Amino acid sequence: MPSLTWLTLLAVPLSLTACDNANDTEMPMEDEGMPMGPDATPMDGENMPTIQSGAARTASAEGTVTAIDTEAGTITLDHGPVPALDWPAMTMAFDAAPEVRSQVAVGDAVTFEFEASDAGNRIASVSKK
């Protein structure tokens, strides 16, 4: 019987320690090709900025085209801050219709209008600077 008591006394703290460690999370590693947010965390598809209100809002920004993906239907822009939406400068992909994608090339400096909503961010118009 005494050995069972010792086993129980040892098992309880060990199991509590294991439960406590389950909540530990590691900070994401910086990925060179990944857009970075204002706090230097990677901006992947899950945490790209969107409007929290649910309603679409229109904003404008200036930036440089860094990629055009015809299969995904996106234009990636390295854009400056967007004060209307409280966004910092960053590089991110925007949905864009084929006629919008055909107006620009990688490396173009542009001014663009876009809609931001919970569903995503879509370029409405773009013009070269």
Say what the pLDDT of residue 13 is. 55
Q: Residue 43: what pLDDT?
A: 53
Q: Which domains does the chain have, with CATH numbers?
A: 57-128 (2.40.50.320)
Tokens of 114: 């876009």
Arithmetic mean of pLDDT, 87-110: 98
Of the pLDDT bands very low, low, confident and very high (cuts 50, 70, 90), residue 56 is confident
* pLDDT higher than 80, residue 60: yes
Specify the length of the chain in residues: 129
- Report in angstroms the alpha-carbon separations of 84 from 7, 60, 103, 114: 62, 8, 25, 12
41 with 103: CB under 8 angstroms?
Answer: no
Check pLDDT > 50 for residue 32: no
